Structure formats: structure tokens, C-alpha cells
Amino acid sequence: MAMTNNKTLCFKCNQEKITYFCKGCSNEFCLLDLIEHRQTLNNELHLITNDYNEFKEGINEQKQNPHNHSLIKQIDQWEIKSIEIIQQKAQDCRQVAIESLQTCINDIEKKFNDLTEQIKHLQKENDFNEINLNHLTNQLIEITQELNNPSNISIQQDSQSVIDGISIILLKKLKWDRWKRNAITVAGGNGEGQKLNQLDKPRGIFVDKNKNIFIADCSNHRIVEWKRDAEEGQIIAGGNGEGHRMDQLNRPTDVIVDQQNHSIIIADRGNRRVIQWLNQKQQILIDNIDCGRLAMDKHGYLYVSNWKNDEVRRWKMGEYNEGIVVAGGNGRGNQLNQLNLPTFIFVDEDQSIYVTDLNNHRVMKWRKDAEEGTIVVGGNGQGQNLNQLYYPEGLFIDDLGQIYVADSRNNRIMRWCEGKEEGEIVVGENDGGNQANQFNGPSGLSFDDEGNLYVVDFNNRRVQKFEIIL
């Protein structure tokens, strides 16, 4: 009787032998190969044990010496680099501050020298009174404060980051320019009439780069241009009587010169239209609008104040559809999103819109795309205090953000710094009149590139030029 064959193929030697099953790898091994296989497993376990021992040593090392961890080393590197950056930033700020302080000191020294010369002059002429002495005392106090605490230099810290940032803030240095108190009449001033040397209720004004003056001669239904130093003007639009023909105007209230396209744009209020004149050819840009005043920004957008709807709208040149409301438009009132008979407008470099809010006795500023404005001038009821206006009209914002307003019923031109509670009188007196230092209802205002101030003296039918004192 034959023996039962219980042999199988060995996984290792590939021979038929009595084999033993390994549950770990699911293979059959003969006895010799099984012993070798187990030894291999023992060797692998020994290696793993060594790895674990090394890992344990790593844990102990980090527990005993946590500062050697790679994260800590990264932080150390960050610290070194940050210190280098801070030191460089501090050095840069010191340099800017030193240079700015030196400029400030030089300006103050110049003011001081000017005051010293005034004192010498007063002493020499022996012609002074309490007003002169008070002026000198106040000026010394001002420049002393400016020397000790420069108003145009400050430190700004940024606490939003992990390390407080720091930078030097150089504020725009306010130029408290002065103008001669007595003006020169540069247009009109020859009584009410329609002769070329006369004006009748002039409103808006535009002064071009050549100091030519363009005037909306409202009651003469025309736009006149007075060349620099001319004794009379010339009609460049309208002047054909009151009417609605294309060659006529009806009580125009404002004019701007598009110097790039050599055309003029007119607020033809009586005809409820904005019209463009180009080489004696006319084109209606906007129709059926109760237009008051005009402005154009550096991008060529046209702005129109609508006194009846209490709003300011903006149009892209060449696309005269409904326009976009950029100020007011929420009914007549005195809330921050409302206006009450807007008149003159000014648009700055950021496309913020300034509006003289006539019946609210204030000037409003509407930032681009804002839903409401802020009061930047007045807003304290009608009056003649330095924090009040009385029917403001003409408006101009200079490069330093200083706001100039024709305070019509107070017969004065005011200057305000945004954020200040009070303004100062630039020219004019509270009592109206027709003298060289007086107004009777100032309306539009403008500046030439030398800083000379031009004011439309409405009821005196003239334009006054106040020369800047250099």
C-alpha cells in the first residue's frame, strides 16, 4: 500500500517537500526555508526596534532641548531678519524726518526773518499801533508753536500686523497765501448794460491758462471772453437776444472751456439745456434739465447740478443718456443724502464732488460712489460767524485741499481747511459795497496758474482780480 503524498511546493526553494504555512505572508515553506524566513523576520523586527529606540531618543532630546527644534530655528531666523528690517526702516524714517524737519525749520526761519524786517521797518518809521503789535505777537506765537510741534510731520504706527509698523507722515503743508485787499476790475464795472465793456448779472466764470476770462453774462444772454488786460470783452456765444434758437441763449449761468477740444460748454438755464459751442456751431448735449452749474473732471466726465431736482449728475462725454446721480437725488432737505438747491460744483483728483448747498448754507462733499455726503463747510445755519455761511455760491478746491467759498450774502470769500470747525476771511468785508475791497453778492470764483484770485461781483456787474502777495 502506497504512502499518502502530503508534500507541496516550497515557496523559497521551489521543491516538493513537507511544508509549513506562514499566516503572515500566506506562503508554504519547507523546514529549512521556514527557519531562514523566521530569521529574516527577526532581523526586520530588530531594525524596527532600533528605529523606535532612535525615535525615543529624539523625543527625549526635544524634551530636554526644545530650542534645537527646526521651528525654533526658523523663528530665530525670522527674528534676525525682522530686526534687520526694523533697523533699516527706522533709519529710513530718521532720514525722512531729518530732511523734513530741516525744510520746516528753513520755512520758519524765513518767516522769522520777514517778521524781523517788519519790526525794523516799524522802528525806523515809528509808525505803528496796537494792531501792529498784536499782529507781531500772534505771529511769533504761531511760528514758535510750529517750531516746537511741526504740524505737517507726524508718526503713524500700524498696529494691525504682528510687529507694529511705523512710518513718517508728511502732511500737505498749508500755504496760507495772502492777497492784496484791494482788487483790480478786469471785466465790466461800467454799470449795467449790454455794451462790450459792460456786464449784466454775471454768474459763472472760467479762467484759462492764458488768463483769458470767460463769463456767463446771464441777463445779457451771452458768453463773453475778456482777453488778458482787455478793456472790453467779445461775444463768443449767444448775444442774439433772449431765445431758444441754437444761436441764442436764455439766462446762462455757467460756462466751462474744454481746452482739449477747443469748445465751450454752457449751462443754458432758461432753455433747460446744456449746449456746446464749437467754432460757432452749436450742439445740444443734454436737454430737458434744470441746469445750474457745470464741472468737468480730469477724465472728461461732465457734471451738472440740477437745482430743481436737488441733485448732481455725471455724464461721460459723448454719451448723453440719463446720466448718473453722484450727489443728492433724495428729495429736497438737509439730511446727509439730500441737498436744497445745489449751485456750484467742483470735482477733485479723486472724483469727489463738492457742492454748494445754497439753502442749507453749507458745502457738501460726496466721495466717489458714496450714498451720502459730509458737511465740510458751514452747516451751522445762516450767519456771519466764521463757522457759518449765508447763501454760499462760487466754489474752488486747491491742490492742498483748501476750500474757497463765495459767501454771497456776507460779501466775502472764505477759506476752510477740511476738518476745521471755522474758516477765515480771504478777501471782502461783511458790509457790502462797490469799493475795491468790497463785494455786492459775490458769485463765481476762480484762480489762475499764478494763484491770483478772480471773483464775479454779481450786483456790481464786474469781475474782480485780487493779486497774490508773493
Q: Are 339 and 452 in a shared domain?
A: yes
Count of structural domains within the chain? 3
Q: Is the overall model pTM greater than 0.75, yes or no?
A: no
In a domain, 450, yes or no: yes
Q: Is residue 192 helix, strand or coil?
A: strand
Q: Are 199 and 140 in a shared domain?
A: no
Residue pair 348/373 in contact by the 8 Å Cβ criterion: no
Q: Are 50 and 158 in a shared domain?
A: no
Q: Are 261 and 164 in a shared domain?
A: no
| Assigned C-alpha cell, 142 | 504761531
In a domain, 179, yes or no: no
Q: Are 221 and 95 in a shared domain?
A: no
Could you please report the per-residue DSSP string of 72-119?
Answer: HHHHHHHHHHHHHHHHHHHHHHHHHHHHHHHHHHHHHHHHHHHHHHHH
User: What pLDDT shows up at residue 111?
Assistant: 76
| Domain boundary residue, one of 137, 170, 203 | 170
Output phi, psi for 326, to 5 deg.
-115, -5
Residue-by-residue pLDDT tens, the chain, 470 positions = 445 567 889 988 999 888 888 888 888 989 999 899 989 889 988 988 888 888 888 788 778 887 777 778 888 888 888 888 888 888 888 887 787 778 778 878 877 887 888 788 778 777 677 767 777 787 788 788 777 877 667 676 665 555 656 665 655 544 557 899 899 999 999 999 999 999 999 999 999 989 999 999 999 999 999 999 899 999 999 999 999 999 999 999 999 998 777 789 999 999 999 999 988 789 999 999 999 999 999 888 999 999 999 999 999 877 888 899 999 999 999 999 999 999 999 999 889 999 999 999 999 999 999 999 999 999 999 999 999 999 999 999 998 889 999 999 999 999 998 778 899 999 997 678 999 999 999 999 999 999 999 999 999 999 999 999 87
User: What pLDDT shows up at residue 1?
Assistant: 45
Q: Are 25 and 159 in a shared domain?
A: no
Task: Return d(Cα 415, Cα 423) in angstroms, integer.
Answer: 5
In a domain, 19, yes or no: yes
Residue 40 CB contacts under 8 Å (≥ 6 apart), including other chains: none
The distance between the two most distant Cα atoms of the chain, rounded to a whole number of Å, is 156
In a domain, 66, yes or no: no
Closest CA to 465 of 254, 200, 188: 188
Contacts by residues 220-225 (CB-CB < 8 Å, ≥ 24 positions apart): 220/194, 221/248, 221/249, 221/250, 221/251, 221/252, 221/270, 222/249, 222/252, 223/249, 223/252, 223/255, 223/264, 223/266, 223/277, 224/187, 224/196, 224/199
Estimate to the nearest angstrom the gap between the alpha carbon of 354 and the chain centroid: 11
Task: Return d(Cα 193, Cα 178) in angstroms, integer.
Answer: 33
Q: Are 214 and 309 in a shared domain?
A: yes
Task: Return d(Cα 213, Cα 234) in angstroms, integer.
Answer: 11
Q: Are 82 and 149 in a shared domain?
A: yes
Q: Are 211 and 84 in a shared domain?
A: no
In a domain, 248, yes or no: yes
Output phi, psi for 433, to 5 deg.
180, -170
User: What pLDDT shows up at residue 331?
Assistant: 96
**What's the N-to-C CA distance of the chain in angstroms?**
137
Estimate to the nearest angstrom the gap between the alpha carbon of 125 and the chain centroid: 47
Task: Return d(Cα 364, Cα 427) in angstroms, integer.
Answer: 22
| Assigned C-alpha cell, 431 | 458790509
Residue pair 292/253 in contact by the 8 Å Cβ criterion: yes
| Domain boundary residue, one of 136, 170, 204 | 170
Closest CA to 391 of 443, 334, 457, 335: 443
Q: Are 347 and 428 in a shared domain?
A: yes
| Domain boundary residue, one of 109, 143, 170 | 170
Residue 270: CB atoms within 10 A of its CB come to 16
In a domain, 310, yes or no: yes
The residue to which cell 467742483 is assigned? 346
Q: Which residues pair with 202 in a beta bridge?
A: 217
Domain carrying residue 215? 184-466
Output phi, psi for 82, to 5 deg.
-65, -40
Q: Are 203 and 257 in a shared domain?
A: yes
Q: Are 132 and 160 in a shared domain?
A: yes
